[in-house]
Structure 1
Amino acid sequence: MIRFNIPDMNCGHCRASIEAALTPMPGVNALRFDIDGRMIEVEGDAPAAEIIQVLDAIGFPAKVLG
């Protein structure tokens, strides 16, 4: 599991956009959202760098949380 901070995620539309982009990625098995905390958890073996690249491409810059 990898946790990401996504400062620009603040509504259900943001969540839907992120889900649509990440769900089809190879290695993404599940997503958990904390919209109020502006955080997602990604289960699977997709590389963090690839996830960040996809999020950046759809307008949601993200950082890995330690």
Structure 2
Amino acid sequence: MLKLKVEEMSCGHCVKAVTEAASSVNDVEKVEIDLAGGLVTVSGNADSAAVIAAISEAGYPAQQVG
């Protein structure tokens, strides 16, 4: 499981964009978002750097936490 702090998420559109970006990475099984906390949890065996890159390329700076 990968936990990320994602900046600049503020609405449902942001949640959709981040979910789609993370889900586009191979081996991502599930994406859960805590909009209020700015946290994204990604389940599966995806490469963490690839997930972070995909979310960042969608316009939402991301960094791993925990």
Same fold per superposition (TM over 0.5): yes
Q: Deviations over 1:14-56 (max 9, x none)?
A: 0111112222321100011100000010000111111111111
Task: Identify the residue that residue 25 of structure 1 maps to in structure 2.
Answer: 25
Task: Identify the residue that residue 8 of structure 2 maps to in structure 1.
Answer: 8
Listed as ranges, the gaps of 5+ residues in structure 2 are none
Separation in structure 1 between the aligned mates of residue 57 and residue 15 of structure 2, nearest angstrom: 15
Which amino acid letter does the alignment assign opposite residue 8 of structure 2?
A: D
Return structure 1 stretches of 4+ with deviation > 2 angstroms.
none
Task: Identify the residue that residue 34 of structure 1 maps to in structure 2.
Answer: 34
SS in 2 for 1:26: coil
Listed as ranges, the gaps of 5+ residues in structure 1 are none
Provide the identity percentage.
29
Count of residues paired in the alignment: 66
RMSD: 0.9
Separation in structure 1 between the aligned mates of residue 56 and residue 21 of structure 2, nearest angstrom: 11
Separation in structure 2 between the aligned mates of residue 50 and residue 60 of structure 1, nearest angstrom: 14
